[in-house]
Each structure stands twice: as C-alpha cells, then as structure tokens.
Amino acid sequence: MNDLILWNELTRREQRIMNKLFGGGSAYGDGPIETVNLMRLGLITESGLTSAGLELFIAAFKAQRDVCRAIARRASRSGPGLITSDVFLFDLCKSRARLDLSVRRRA
C-alpha cells in the first residue's frame, strides 16, 4: 500500500519516465527536474530503474490491473446500464491515467 501512495504522489511526468525505463527506454529528453527527483527518491539511476523503482512500478501496475478487472466484472454483470462512475473508471483504465486510491477503495 505504501508503494501505491508513493506512486500517486509522483507527477504524471515522473510516472511516464518510470514507465519508459520499465519498457527498456531511457530518460533522454525528459525534464531534468523530474529525473533528479526520481534519483533523489532512489527509484532510478543513470542506468535505469532501481530495485525499489521496479517494485513501485510493478505494485502500481498490478493495482491498476486489478481495478480494471473489477470494473470489467461489474460491467459484465450490470449489462448496458453502466452508471457514470463506472464509465469514468473504465475510461481511466483505458487511458492508463493516474491510479487514484480513493477510486480503488470505492470499487
């Protein structure tokens, strides 16, 4: 749970950098401020993700996957009459937007 709180405190740009590094990319061309912040938190080094950064990314990925699965299960049970919050959450999962723990608690 602490990993998810830290993930939510990261800016969208910082999350994007971690996503790129997880996929084998580099932080080249990204903002130096975000890169330095991630290094200061011990999540990345000049060569990629640290073990702490990897654990954080995987925890956030799994939590987002679980939310999307729960929404899909609920949508399949309720049929075409999705309520507005379900539509919002489904769009959230599709766009891979920030994981919001308050939304996850309600799901």
Per domain, the residue ranges of the chain are: 2-106
pLDDT at position 107 over 60: no
Distance CA 90, CA 1 (A): 22
Q: What pLDDT digit, counting tens, does each position of 62-71 carry? A: 988 888 888 7
Mean pLDDT, the chain, as a whole number?
Answer: 78
CA-nearest of 67, 72, 58, 54 to 101 is 67
Contact 69, 80 (CB under 8 A): no
Q: Which amino acid is at 50?
A: T
pLDDT at position 16 over 80: yes
- Supply the pLDDT for residue 3: 76
Q: Look up residue 45 and give its DSSP letter.
A: E
Contact 57, 49 (CB under 8 A): yes
- Supply the pLDDT for residue 100: 46
- Supply the pLDDT for residue 79: 59
